Amino acid sequence: MDERIPSLEKLIGSEIIARIPVVDEHGPALMKLVSLEHGGIWIESQKVTEHFLSEMSLQDAPRAFVVFVPYQQIAWILSFADYPALSEKALGLQKS
């Protein structure tokens, strides 16, 4: 594996962006990777918090919601590398 690409284990505690249809039917969400298990990941996300507060008709909760998501329900996970990301199209470097 490329050394520049961190394993999920190394991303624990970091913010990631993931497309998890069960969690967010409207697109990817920024979330914190809390923990890993053999079958999936534990995440914390403001979108998840808003969803569960709404579902339970609450305005707040004494503790943050942490949700387990099985790997088969994750379309993709995006993390961040330690170098800039540039848009070739915006810089005029990409051919149409």
Handedness of CA 25, 30, 33, 34 (dihedral sign): negative
Q: Name the residue ranges covered by the structural domains of the chain.
A: 9-78
| Rounded Cα–Cα distance for residues 73 and 41 (Å) | 10
Q: Does the structure show a pLDDT above 60 at 1?
A: no
What was the pLDDT predicted at 12? 95
Question: Two tokens at 36?
Answer: 């890993």
On whether the CB atoms of residues 7 and 79 are closer than 8 A, the answer is no
> Is 9-78 in CATH node 2.30.30?
yes
Write the pLDDT tens digit of every residue in 32-69. 999 999 999 999 988 888 888 888 899 998 988 899 99
Note the pTM of the prediction, 2 decimals: 0.76
| Rounded Cα–Cα distance for residues 86 and 48 (Å) | 30
What was the pLDDT predicted at 96? 61
